[in-house]
Amino acid sequence: MPERDELEPLDDDPPPRPARTGGTVRIDIERRRDDRPPRGRDRVATEEPLEIRLITEHGEELRERRIAVTMRTPGDDFDLAAGFLFSEGVIGSADDVAEVTYCTDSRDPQLFNIVSVRLRAGVRFDPKRLERNFFATSSCGVCGKASLETLRLEGQVPVAGGPTIDAAVIRALPDRLRPAQPLFAHTGGIHASGLFRADGSLQIVREDVGRHNALDKVVGALLQRGELPARDQILLVSGRASFELVQKAVRAGIPVIAAVGAPSSLAVDTAKEFGATLLGFVGPKGFNIYSGSQRITA
């Protein structure tokens, strides 16, 4: 993305930091560019930790457990928490969830960076299984499912059916997603996941500094609407297609996964293993098909 030429003018006071942070933050900067003002105020994507807590019922006792901390852009936090728990197999449907709230019992100023998910009575949760399947990386925070074997052991079945999509629709997806990315337009430093129908109409879009978080927000929105599995949808991600993104999409029943960038080898293996269509380098001039070509027409 080209550098934005227009910066906000500076004033005497530093930009305020609100108690509830938005998707962007104003930062005072210096710039070394010909014919450009040397100082100004730019917008950068907000990145803050979100702690996800799980509350379970044991008789009349409530037990709270810290599940994960992920770096994210504030906004759609409930979708993110629900989508994360679904993608990682902690919950199986929206019926498993009794309530999603911000944790407000801290003595610290409320920054809305802790989300508590309360499971319904009778929903079973195995914390040891959670510890086995989660691991942290420096690039994406909290990721899950270290192998295809783990997916198979959890009973994941191949993605069934799915639409037949004209190649021209696929080529047009990035241009249809871009106008729905306001945070990217302001900052140039944020990922997006968009869900489309077979005719190319955009249904849901979510943005985040973490590409996994953007997809979890989409999955969480579908979960809470009761629209999973998403068997007739196309997913477009703004960056590369990693194993974790394909795994999350497969669990959500999304049959077609398209990426502006390249897939990884394990992403391709996962798509083939579970019958998903995986497309890479999607743009106006074309794309590559790595698996599931039967869903794409010439």
| Both structure tokens of 244 | 């974790």
In the chain, pLDDT over 90 holds for what percent of residues?
Answer: 62
Q: How far apart are CA 184 and CA 44, in angstroms?
A: 9
Confidence at 89, pLDDT banded by 50, 70, 90: confident
Global confidence as pTM? 0.85
pLDDT confidence of residue 220: 98
Q: Cβ of 41: how many Cβ atoms within 10 Å?
A: 15
pLDDT exceeds 70 at position 16: no
* The one catalytic residue among 10, 25, 71, 140: 140
Calculate the alpha carbon distances from 37 to 2, 70, 122 in Å.
Answer: 17, 37, 62
Average pLDDT score over residue span 32-52: 82
Average pLDDT score over residue span 72-76: 94
Average pLDDT score over residue span 171-183: 97
pLDDT exceeds 60 at position 4: no
> Does residue 143 have an active-site annotation?
no
Average pLDDT score over residue span 177-206: 96
pLDDT confidence of residue 279: 96
Q: How far apart are CA 249 and CA 222, in angstroms?
A: 12
Q: What is the pLDDT of residues 122-156, one digit of tens each?
A: 898 877 656 655 544 434 545 544 456 666 656 78
Mean pLDDT, the chain, integer: 85
pLDDT confidence of residue 86: 94
Q: What is the pLDDT of residues 248-267, one digit of tens each?
A: 999 999 999 999 999 998 89
pLDDT exceeds 80 at position 64: yes
Q: Where are the alpha helices (DSSP H) in 134-202?
A: 148-153, 167-177, 182-187
**Which residue's entry shows tokens 């068997």?**
231
pLDDT confidence of residue 2: 41
Q: How far apart are CA 127 and CA 108, in angstroms?
A: 28
Confidence at 18, pLDDT banded by 50, 70, 90: very low
DSSP string covering 199-231, please?
T--EEEEEEESSHHHHHHHHHHHHHHHT--S-T
pLDDT exceeds 80 at position 104: no
The pair phi, psi for residue 120, each rounded to 5°, is -70, 155
Q: 164: buried, middle or exposed (CB in 10 Å: 19+, 13-18, 0-12)?
A: exposed
Confidence at 1, pLDDT banded by 50, 70, 90: very low
